[in-house]
Amino acid sequence: MGFHPDFRYFRPGGRAKGEIVLKIEELESLRLKDLLQLDQIEAAKLMDISQPTFHRILKEARRKVAEALVDGKAIRVSGGDYRFRNLCYDCRSEWGAPLERCPICGGISVSSVAREGGRGPPHRKV
């Protein structure tokens, strides 16, 4: 359920007609909004950005994915400056290292979330 930072590359069957680069935070916006179906305010809060910024990132992410699907382009997931936080959807606790269960309430609704910006570890640049 969490966000995994592996490099990803998606290619259409046959020959790709070009490539688009989807930033880490753009993929994360799709995951939070379209896959987990959080509302924008909640998703923005998880990514530690404003709701208008989240909306802008999500819009660009959707446009890029649509372009790839319609025009037969490959998608490379890369770039962006982000760090990870692990959090519990039950009690809203946050912690550093990835765990199967929440260390506070023992809940299993935990997820790693990518956030923009470089405020403190854990932090990775892609």
The token pair at 92 is 């809203």
Residue 80's nearest CA partner among 13, 21, 14 is: 21
Q: Find how far residue 65's CA is from the centre of its chain.
A: 14
* Smallest separation (angstroms) from Zn ion to the CB of 100: 12
* Smallest separation (angstroms) from Zn ion to the CB of 106: 7
* Smallest separation (angstroms) from Zn ion to the CB of 94: 10
The token pair at 30 is 């799709």
- Residue with Cβ nearer Zn ion (22 or 110): 110
Residue 45's nearest CA partner among 29, 59, 56 is: 29
- Residue with Cβ nearer Zn ion (2 or 107): 107
Residue type, 27: L
- Residue with Cβ nearer Zn ion (53 or 93): 93
- In sequence order, the β-bridge partners of residue 124 are 82
Which residues contact Zn ion by CB under 5 A?
A: 88, 90-91, 93, 102, 104-105, 107
